[in-house]
Chain A
Amino acid sequence: MYRYIARRVLLVIPTLLGAAVLVFALMRLIPGDICVVRLGSGGATFNPQAIALCHHEIGLDKPLWLQFWDFVWGFSHFDFGISMWSGKPVAVEIAARLPISLEIALLATIVAVSIAIPLGTISALKQNTWLDVVVRTVAIGGIATPSFWIGIIAILVVLDTTGALFGRPWMPPIDYVPIWKDPIRNLSMAILPAITVGYRYSAVSMRMTRSAMLEVMREDYIRTARAKGLLEHLIVNRHALKNALLPVVTLLGIEFAFLIGGLVVTEQVFNLNGIGRLFVQAVQNQDYTLTQALVMLTVTVFVLCNLAVDLLYAWLDPRIRFA
């Protein structure tokens, strides 16, 4: 198993290198100049000397190969460089935003798991009943509806409902406070985006749980367990669910990795100062160093989450051994 883990970790290196080349090249293919955007987007006038100075400050006057070397060498030493836009260390920019994204991702996962597994199981056990139809409709709705739309509607519904009921519309706080400083304010900010994202997240997992349960419930050992006289809830919880959860765990792991950097639109809708929003800003501003660092961070999280999921698989299913 340790050799398997070591091999998987070593495989991360060529993956990251490939990602580095891709993001470095793609960013520089986009037309535009961060210095022109920075100095000119406010409508103010600027002169060529200011542009040249700006280029020199952020290292854009260096040869491309040197810029790539600085990027890769820095990353290998966990030095992610300085943001070309803000002049702050990239690590500082990311660290300021990681807590909110992590919190939303975690809460969304909790919401998703809390909804998906029970409802998916019920739907499988009550196949083709009205309950099954309702659950499947809810799941389809979650997959089909964009999460940003759900978010916008959720905010408007809360605003209108509270306005009608209490004469004063309410919306979640729009400034982040860490949970240890003010848990109520923090959770009142996070709950709506967590539910919005969690709903969509749960929809996919719900369907996966349902189909996995349906398959497992038809297995011989389940029939044997029933024949032995085991209570139904013991059959479901102790025998069926554990096996049905294997593909669901994989899905949840991959989705969680995606959530870390993928909450772009949700963060915009709820004005969350997270990694997704930072990503968009970095690309829009053509901040090469920040974009590169975020891409590499996302790739690393994906790879490590996949590894964690694979290892979890082995724990859940003793039949699985790593070559």
Chain B
Amino acid sequence: MGTLRLAAGAMFAAVLALALPVQAQEKPQYGGTLTYMIPADAPPSLDLHREATYALVHTVAPFYSVLMRVDPENPADTTKFVCDLCVSVPVPTDGGTTYTFKIITEVKFHDGSPLTAADVAASWHEIIFPRPGVLSARANWYEAVQSVEAPDATTVVFKLKYPSSTFLPSLADPYAAIYPKAILDKDPHWFEQHVMGSGPFKFVSYDIGQEIKGVKNPDYYHKGLPYLDGFVGIFAEKQAVRVDAIRAGRAAMEFRGLPPAAINDLKSSLGDKLKVQYSDWNCGNLITPNSKRKPFDDVRVRKALLLAVDQWHGAPALSKIANVKTVGGIVFPGSPLAATRAELEQMAGFWPDIEKSRAEARRLLKEAGQENLHFELLNRNVDQPYKYVGTWLIDQWSKIGVTATQKVVPTGPWFQLMRTGDFDVVVEANCNSIVNPVLDTQKYLPHDVFVENYGGYSDPVEADIYSKMLHATDPVVVRQYMRQYETRIVNDQAHEFPMLWWYRAIPERSYVHGWKIGPSHYINQDLSDIWLDKTATE
């Protein structure tokens, strides 16, 4: 009996000994410097309010605080927004037009000066109502805002002209960095070349075009964070450089996403020294026919092009070679406002029976007198996934007798040709930071309402539906309007066709922990949750 007890005790101890190290590994460790690749050339300036490139977020987000953000513990949730500088996310008052935020006290900027509600209000004022001569890239997101004020040192009040479901998510914009009011008042252009934030890391150095360095902020207001001693972000536009750097251990990860071939290459060479996180991506290609050019002014021709494409079978095939995967409508597939599969299958371009769909496409072309349609597809000179999608589409259209040739141009001329309307059909992209479907789908509004729409069409019915949706606050009602809006754009008028949504694959060395992937390469970039365990399989 004694021996039995001894054996049981030994077994229990062995089990415990095995279990404990696993738990110990999960506990964040302090220390270390994270080196990561920034998949771009250096951003034009360091001012988050001014710029639109993700390269800037990857560069300076760790230095700054924001009012609200996506939940870093669960960035995949498109509806949950949490506080960064605020105490709690407020419930709107005054019929949904007033949002009163209380700001955390004892927050300091990196120069030691206190951060108060005045700084938050001033920063947001600069974003929403930029003074003359100051560029704010996202001012038009906040057209519903009437005012933003700080009645006292801990309170910020946003007043809207009308209630809108888009407002709260738009406050979580990762570009909405909080700057010191004192510097803003003196020189609002100061932040173009300098950094002064209150975030988890302090600015150390910026070698132009090469790398950015930051060091831990010991006074960070989220106690216990960050775990890292510092970080180094290295700019490298070329994918091969980034892949080799991760492989050789020169860098631990990158935050935009690599295509399947590169991920497979890293997996085969690193084995269990590599982890990969995957997520649907709030970016998707859309195909825009030029409605001002014949024969694309004919809805039958546009619809035929839409009906010819087999997205349901194309998606799994393309996902092996390109960073696309999910079939969806105009709304990010992970969002509550997105169409379900059943709803999608009711719309042209998403019918489950592709032969029936293509037969209808051929019928429409014949009716329109365009059986031997030939046109040029304008595309952007970016491999992933523009060129893959463009090449695939040409093949899909060939199945209904349409011949398309692809014209690939650099970004500048691509924009120019779209803006001047000098194209037949173009491959575009709709990429957004926060999942905010009502704002994200502005891209599909007619040009007379939204200047960045290049389709050349006017549609007062569509614009009216959108306006109602923008002013609605009941989620059920918003969803109903979204379905009407989507159906009008895609099924009824075939103004523009949403194509496959992109898919992110983020490689990280196995010693990196804490970072969680979200549906956007703009969010969750402050690095405060990341910790390194170099004892793990290195």
Contacts and interface: CB of A to CB of B under 8 A. Distances in A.
Interface stretch (B62-70, B129-137, B468-476): B129-137
A215 B286 CA distance: 65
Contacts of B209: 93, 96-97, 273, 277-278, 281
B460 to A, nearest CB: 21
Contacts of B415: 32-33, 36-37, 40-41
A18 interface: no
A44 B52 contact: yes
A259 to B, nearest CB: 19
Contacts of B44: 38, 85-87
A169 B247 contact: yes
A34 B412 CA distance: 7
A225 interface: no
Interface in B131-157: 133, 135-141
A161 interface: no
A170 B415 CA distance: 41
A273 B210 CA distance: 6
A212 B53 CA distance: 54
Given A40-B52, A169-B248, A271 B236 contact: yes
Contact of A174 (B138, B241, B417): B241
Contacts of A271: 234, 236, 238, 241, 245
Contacts of A45: 138, 140-141, 442-443, 450, 452
Contacts of B224: none
A163 B249 CA distance: 11
Contact of B419 (A36, A47, A175, A273): A36
Nearest to A100: B210
Interface residues of A, number: 54
Interface stretch (A48-56, A216-224, A304-312): A48-56
B490 to A, nearest CB: 20
A37 B382 CA distance: 14
A31 B412 contact: yes
B81 to A, nearest CB: 19
B410 A284 contact: yes
Interface in B333-358: none
Nearest to A281: B41
A168 interface: yes
A42 B430 CA distance: 10
Interface string A132-146: 000000000000000
A173 interface: yes
B289 to A, nearest CB: 20
A39 B52 contact: yes
Interface in A278-303: 278, 281, 284-286
A39 B250 CA distance: 32
B208 A174 contact: no
A270 B236 CA distance: 9
B135 A47 contact: no
Given A46-B52, A174-B234, A33 B138 contact: no
A50 B138 CA distance: 10
Interface in B213-271: 232, 234-238, 240-241, 244-245, 247-251, 269
B451 interface: yes
Contacts of A48: 451
A120 to B, nearest CB: 34
Contact of A170 (B133, B248, B432, B433): B248
Interface in B441-484: 442-443, 450-452
A93 B238 contact: no
Interface in B414-440: 414-417, 419, 429-433
B431 A273 contact: no
B138 A32 contact: no
B304 interface: no
A163 B269 contact: yes
B140 to A, nearest CB: 5
Contact of A42 (B53, B234, B416): B53
B486 interface: no
Contacts of B137: 39, 44, 46, 50
Nearest to B422: A31
Contact of A40 (B136, B208, B452): B452
Interface string A167-187: 011110111100000000000
Contacts of B452: 40, 45-46
B135 A53 contact: yes
A266 to B, nearest CB: 12
Interface string B286-298: 0000000000000
B135 A50 contact: yes
A42 B521 CA distance: 11
B193 interface: yes
B51 interface: yes
A30 B245 contact: no
Given A31-B412, A36-B415, A38-B51, A92 B208 contact: yes
A96 B451 contact: no
B413 A30 contact: yes
A152 interface: yes
B371 interface: no
A82 to B, nearest CB: 11
Contacts of A171: 244-245, 247-248, 250
Identify the 7 closest CB pairs spanning chains A and B, nearest first. Answer: A32-B412, A43-B431, A44-B52, A42-B52, A171-B248, A31-B416, A42-B53
23 contacts: A30-B412, A31-B412, A31-B417, A33-B412, A33-B416, A36-B412, A37-B415, A39-B52, A40-B52, A41-B411, A42-B54, A43-B283, A44-B137, A45-B442, A88-B193, A96-B210, A163-B269, A169-B269, A173-B250, A174-B250, A176-B207, A271-B241, A286-B412
Interface of A: 30-34, 36-48, 50, 53-54, 57, 85-88, 92-93, 96-97, 152, 155-156, 159, 163, 168-171, 173-176, 268-271, 273, 277-278, 281, 284-286
